[in-house]
Amino acid sequence: MPKALTHFPRKEIVESTRAAGARVERRVAWHYRLRGYRIVARNARAGGYEIDLIARRGQRLVVCEVKSKAGEEFGDSAEMVDEEKQRRLRRAADAWLAAHPDFAALDVRFDVVAVSSQRIVRIADAF
């Protein structure tokens, strides 16, 4: 008799994690759209890093880092954006703006959006 499968193969875990991440990012994009923002880019690669979401409203450009966790008992997702991650996001934003000069004159704000199954918490101007 075959042994019962007691774990998911790594490939399936990575694919399901990516799918879950994409769903969360779509949810956050919708959150911004409802507040009058236009989504400029999603999963933008720049400077060797990735920016989850870039949105614009008027003269404001928002560089958004999306964080989610399966359970609230592990703490706030926003806590995962440490100084090193902030530094990488700033570099990515600089590289993205250099590649998209039409946006260079806009005011840039960095948001962190923490998502759980129950709520979305947007920390505007997080750093």
Contact residues for 72 (Cβ-Cβ < 8 A; gap 6+):
116, 118
- Indicate whether 72 pLDDT > 80: no
pLDDT band at 70 (very low <50, low <70, confident <90, very high): low
- Indicate whether 61 pLDDT > 80: yes
Read off the pTM. Answer: 0.80
Instruction: Give the helix, strand, coil percentages of the chain, each rounded to 5.
Output: 40, 30, 30
- Indicate whether 62 pLDDT > 90: yes
10-123: CATH number: 3.40.1350.10
Residue 118: what pLDDT? 79
Q: Work out whether strand 49-57 and strand 38-46 pair parallel, antiparallel, or are unpaired.
A: antiparallel
C-alpha–C-alpha distance, residues 57 and 38, integer Å: 6
Which structure tokens are listed for 73?
A: 């008992």
